[in-house]
Amino acid sequence: MQDRTINNALLALAKQGGPQGKVAEGLLLMRGVEWSGIAHNAPLKRGMAKRIVMDGLRIGPQSTWQLSHLVMDHRPEISLRAARNRAYQALLRLEDNGKVVREGGPDGCLWKLAQ
């Protein structure tokens, strides 16, 4: 087995918790694998990121960075990187549906509601 496969199996056990999870955490430490100890089952419910983004864009055009902070306001336990990814993915889906448009500018991309 590859080390990556073993590490992934141990991470899955650690996320489940219980006695096996504690053993898996110890083995992860011994193997030098970093794990935060926090398992996110469902940080955002289905469609929640889209609703947060749409609410943010009703105020006016905003960047992905600004919208990711709105996502973090709703779920402070997720990282900024995860919030930015969720906001961006929601924006792409909304753009595909024709609900938002992006405008390029000197400071980067701004998103706004479609007319």
pLDDT digits (tens, 9 = 90+) for 27-59: 888 888 887 776 665 667 788 889 999 999 999
68, 83 contact by CB (below 8 A): yes
Instruction: CATH 1.10.10.10 in the chain: give the residue spans.
Output: 48-113
Sign of torsion, CA 86 46 69 64?
positive
Dihedral-angle region of residue 40 (phi above 0 means left; psi in -120 to 50 means alpha; beta otherwise): beta
Residue 106 pLDDT grade (very low, low, confident, very high; cuts 50, 70, 90):
low
**For a pLDDT cut of 90, what percent of the chain falls above it?**
36
Helix 3-16, helix 18-31: angle, nearest 10: 140
Q: What is the mean pLDDT of residues 9-15?
A: 84
Q: Which fold has domain 48-113?
A: Arc Repressor Mutant, subunit A (1.10.10)
The predicted structure's pLDDT at residue 41: 59
Query: Which residues, in sequence order, are CB contacts of 68 under 8 Å at separation 6+?
Result: 80, 83, 84, 86, 87, 88
pTM over 0.95: no
